[in-house]
Amino acid sequence: MFQLPSPIEIRSINDITFYLKREDLIDSEFSGNKARKFYYFLQNDFPHIQKLVSYGSAQSNAMYSLSVLAKIRGWKFEYFVDHVADYLKNNPHGNYKAALDNGMKIIEKVGLIPRDYSEEVLFIEEGGRQIEAGYGIKLLAQEIKNWQKEQGIVELNIFLPSGTGTTALFLQKNLLKGQPQGIATTVYTCACVGDSIYLKKQFLDLEKDETMHPTILSLDKKHHFGKLYKENYKIWLKLQEQTGVIFDLLYDPLGWRTLLAHPKVFDKPTLYIHQGGVLGNESMLPRYERKYEDIEGSGDL
């Protein structure tokens, strides 16, 4: 059912060639890094669980993936949000609509989320930022190790943009463990939510040993998550034009802008991880198109 290991393809942008791990192709519904993060809950037995509870934004990729997980496992799914915009309520689309179609019950509540510790309830932190995420990300790391060995790549650089940093952290940690002498795999990332200091704190919460942490790269300019930047839209269009691949509009544009601003990374063979999330483009793309209707095709890029 799942396409695992996820394929690795060769692509190029601005004449720079890189490898692309297509985590977006794992499955039409359960894919990307959320599939890895929630894999533990798909594969193990939870005989008492009847309901999944989580919280976050009304358009999040994690929310949608949890609705798929709940559907597959036959669990109810309750999701807490501060607020659902009227526009979204009246015109459901993207992750929100897909999650509702999967049976999600959305609850608007400002402030503390009621934590139900009863046996039947499985509580998932926002964005899947929890230890169990390590289970699926370890499998991702193993796929990369096997591939790196097959390809005979001695030193590999990996790049992926971070939100909570959970994926990047567990990936680097697992790629450091059990590698043969002389083989190096370095994980680079950037902070899309908050700044590099926030991301470093997130890493420290999950792992005290800083030698296990990914390397954080950044741009000089401050970046606000979810804001519509012209540079983000342009790089997204350019990626689509030059690679033929549709990337996500929330994380990948900043990821690519940051990576391309640090060309030294490409001195070694470089693997970019496509972490899925393309369904979320249904809400982001119309907003970009409306704001920057003057930008189209290659002439402007």
Q: Which residues bind ligand PLP (CB under 6 A)?
A: 32-34, 61, 127, 161-168, 248, 251, 275-277
CB of 36 to ligand PLP, least distance (A): 9
CB of 61 to ligand PLP, least distance (A): 4
CB of 230 to ligand PLP, least distance (A): 21
CB of 253 to ligand PLP, least distance (A): 11
CB of 101 to ligand PLP, least distance (A): 19
Query: Do the beta carbons of residue 250 and residue 64 sit within 8 Å?
Result: no
Report the distance separating Cα 46 and Cα 40, nearest Å: 11
Q: How far is residue 84 CA from its own chain's centroid?
A: 22
Q: Which is nearer to ligand PLP, 23 or 78 (CB)?
A: 23
CB of 22 to ligand PLP, least distance (A): 12
Report the distance separating Cα 263 and Cα 274, nearest Å: 19
Q: Which is nearer to ligand PLP, 76 or 238 (CB)?
A: 238
Element (H, E) at 21: strand 16-22
Q: How far is residue 191 CA from its own chain's centroid?
A: 12
Q: Which is nearer to ligand PLP, 3 or 151 (CB)?
A: 3
CB of 108 to ligand PLP, least distance (A): 22
Q: Which is nearer to ligand PLP, 54 or 162 (CB)?
A: 162
Query: Do the beta carbons of residue 276 and residue 245 sit within 8 Å?
Result: no
CB of 33 to ligand PLP, least distance (A): 5
Q: Which is nearer to ligand PLP, 56 or 156 (CB)?
A: 56
Burial of 52 (0-12, 13-18, 19+ CB in 10 A): buried
Q: Which is nearer to ligand PLP, 87 or 198 (CB)?
A: 198
Report the distance separating Cα 70 and Cα 150, nearest Å: 36
Q: Which is nearer to ligand PLP, 70 or 165 (CB)?
A: 165
Coil, helix or strand for 191? strand
Positions of E strands within 44-133 = 51-55, 76-81, 105-108, 121-123
Q: Which residue is nearest to ligand PLP, using beta carbons?
A: 277
Residues in CB range of 16: below 8 A, 6 or more apart:
260, 263, 266
Q: Which is nearer to ligand PLP, 33 or 157 (CB)?
A: 33
Angle between helices 166-176 and 196-206 (to 10 degrees): 60
Q: From 177, 251, 186, select the one nearest 214 (Cα to Cα).
A: 186
Report the distance separating Cα 297 and Cα 300, nearest Å: 7
